[in-house]
Amino acid sequence: MSKLFTLNGSDDISARGSIYPNPKESTLFLSLGRHVDAYFPPWKRSCIGAPFVLSGERFELKKPSIEVLPDECLFEILRRLPGGQERSACACVSKRWLTLVSNICSDEISDNKTNQALNLRKEGIDKKDGVVSEVEDHDFEGDGYLSRSLEGKKATDVRLAAISVGTASRGGLGKLFIRGSNSRRGVTSVGLRAISRGCPSLRVLSLWNLSSVGDEGLCEIADGCHQLEKLDLCHCPAITDKSLLYVAKSCPNLNDLTIEGCANIGNEGLQAVARCCPNLKSISIKDCPFVGDQGIASLLSSASYSLTKVKLQALNITDVSLAVIGHYGKALTDLSLTSLPNVSEKGFWVMGNGHGLQKLKSFTVTSCCGVTDLGLEAVGKGCPNLKQFCLCKCSFLSDNGLMSFAETASSLESLQLEECHRITQFGFFGSLLNCGAKLKAISLVNCLGIKDLNLGLPLLSPCESLRSLSIRNCPGFGDASLVVLGKLCSQLEQLELSGLHGITDAGFLSLLESCEAGLVKVNLSGCVNLSDKVVCIMADSHGWTLEMLNLDGCKVSDASLVAIAENCQLLSDLDVSKCAITDSGIAALACSNQINLQILSISGCSMISDKSLPSLGKLGQTLLGLNLQQCKAISSSAVDLLVEQIWRCDILF
């Protein structure tokens, strides 16, 4: 049983008398804590903590701990630490301390400059001796050049708090990317509050797939990160116009805005950005059902002389938005329009005749039924400086519209057509003839309207500016088309003919013979009717310039590898996957003293066995990548030995 003592300030509670010289001091040390078996009259004063515990006939000394302090007191202590490194060290004590340190704002750090000056005097730092002062270090810490990224399970509030504290004394956080979130302890406004308080230098913020982050979290960022320049919101359904309005008012330097799949962001938020962010340079808005003409028109009209990049996809906008783009897009250089079902031919026609897209250089249109011959011709006339143009899934565009556009777009350098099924040989070759002297690259992908017909064209003037030609997965493209291309394109350097089952050796050789400039990159993957004859002639005539060659799926054998080994001195990338290659062909490559391959793919070559291990080891002296997938005759033990031998090379098996 513990004893009951009646203390009046003068009674002794130990055998040697009072432990206090002044009897009144006892009231300042003993408390009514749960570990103290003592009675105090009501007029006695009690304080926090009791280092002594009275039990039985003796005192027990209790070890004092700072953890008994409430958060308010501990916060006041931590904010008075002299530097960022000290605060980082304290944040490692516990999650409680980390939370407290991460909630200290830069303006709450007590007498920072005074503490730094006192430290400088104490340490006797002399600038004349070339020693950098503490004050200069702290000026450098706010630059915000550090980048951090959290993905999946690693994206938690605790990690954000650690980032906030850790980067503050090491240069400052400039970019933060959060992809996904922990299902149990996901990112919330608590973590973003830590970032806002510890990272005022944040300029780039990207939030993807964060259902747990709402307006409160984004408002915290806007409240503390006034230097924010780029904001990327993707699939954040809890974020609404409210927080976007707060960001617009608090971050006037915002110049890059990306919003995708945010169902609760609409015109009101975009109008706020238009009013408060005069330096806006780039906007990308996708799949936001409440965004309409009002929001887009506000952005374009308010940033007419600063906005250079616009990307609009899957929005409920009409011809009005395109009319605004055509009139106010005076600084636009890049424009992308995708899946706009409510935009008609009139919208493209008005946009082209708005005379505002004089600086437009790159234009991409995908899945827009409003792209017709009339609208495309107007775009060509209204964009005199257009250099890159891509049309994808435009089902109402015909040959006449394409040729009219090519004739008016005199500055065009690159033309790409994908899944435009009404385009035929007439439109394709007509665009080659009508394009100006600046056209350098043309690409035709999965256009089912291309049929290999004998056009009987008269003598044509060659397109000498064309350097790159790509025809992919157009089943109707055959030898007759290659003959015409050979007459038109004599200066090709990059050639891609992939997935074309209709071309044979005869057609390809006619194109090859007309190529006066040396071919640099050639991709013939999926051309199942091309044989060793083509490869041998190409290696002989263009081996002195060839750097990349893809023969995946072609009917080639060891003879092609022998020709390559003898003639292609500059070749660095070779793909002979699913070809009839044997160990002898690999040995021929390895015996060549001229070839220096960096990438080699022999995937699916079933006749290559463990006998090629020495040859592959020799080739591995220069190889950086080797693909051995689906090589069933090569054992795993041989691959293990090869990995040890050419450890610098990435091997796929």
- One-character DSSP codes across 257-314: EEEES-TT--HHHHHHHHHH-TT--EEEEES-TT--HHHHHHHHHHTTTT--EEEEES
The two beta strands, 650-652 and 256-260, are unpaired
Other beta carbons within 10 Å of 482:
24
Q: What pLDDT is stored for residue 60 in this prediction?
A: 55
Q: What pLDDT is stored for residue 64 in this prediction?
A: 64
What is the rounded average pLDDT of the residues 72-98? 78
* Mean pLDDT of the residues in the chain: 84
Q: In the chain, what are the helix, strand and coil shares in percent, each to the nearest 5?
A: 35, 15, 45
Q: Per-residue pLDDT for 17 more than 50?
A: no
Q: What pLDDT is stored for residue 124 in this prediction?
A: 43
| Model confidence pLDDT, tens digit, residues 530-570 | 999 999 999 999 999 999 999 999 999 999 999 999 999 99
Other beta carbons within 10 Å of 240:
20
Top pLDDT among 503 and 75 is at 503
Q: Per-residue pLDDT for 9 more than 80?
A: no
Contact call for residues 174 and 204 (beta carbons, < 8 A): yes
| Model confidence pLDDT, tens digit, residues 97-116 | 877 777 777 777 765 444 44
With bands split at pLDDT 50, 70 and 90, how would you rate the model's confidence at 4? very low
Q: Per-residue pLDDT for 47 more than 80?
A: no
Q: Per-residue pLDDT for 34 more than 70?
A: no
CA–CA gap between residue 304 and residue 261 (Å, rounded): 26
What are the domain boundaries of the chain? 70-103, 543-652
Segment (H or E) for 324? helix 319-328
DSSP 132: P
CA–CA gap between residue 148 and residue 204 (Å, rounded): 10
| Model confidence pLDDT, tens digit, residues 326-373 | 999 999 999 999 999 999 999 999 999 998 999 999 999 999 999 999
Top pLDDT among 191 and 44 is at 191
Q: Per-residue pLDDT for 471 more than 50?
A: yes
With bands split at pLDDT 50, 70 and 90, how would you rate the model's confidence at 630? very high
With bands split at pLDDT 50, 70 and 90, how would you rate the model's confidence at 199? confident
With bands split at pLDDT 50, 70 and 90, how would you rate the model's confidence at 134? very low
With bands split at pLDDT 50, 70 and 90, how would you rate the model's confidence at 37? very low
Q: Per-residue pLDDT for 23 more than 50?
A: no
What is the rounded average pLDDT of the residues 152-178? 87
What is the rounded average pLDDT of the residues 3-20? 41
Q: What pLDDT is stored for residue 313 in this prediction?
A: 97
What is the rounded average pLDDT of the residues 193-205? 91
In b/e form, how buried is each residue of 328-341, taking b as 16+ CB within 10 angstroms?
bbebbbebbbbbbe
CA–CA gap between residue 628 and residue 615 (Å, rounded): 14
Q: What pLDDT is stored for residue 516 in this prediction?
A: 87
Q: What pLDDT is stored for residue 62 in this prediction?
A: 57
Q: Per-residue pLDDT for 441 more than 60?
A: yes
What DSSP line would sit under 521-536, residue for residue? EEE-TT-TT-BHHHHH
Top pLDDT among 107 and 255 is at 255
State the SS3 of 367-415: CCCCCCHHHHHHHHHHCCCCCEEEEECCCCCCHHHHHHHHHHCCCCCEE
Q: Per-residue pLDDT for 120 more than 70?
A: no
Give the CATH number of domain 543-652. Answer: 3.80.10.10
What is the rounded average pLDDT of the residues 213-239? 94
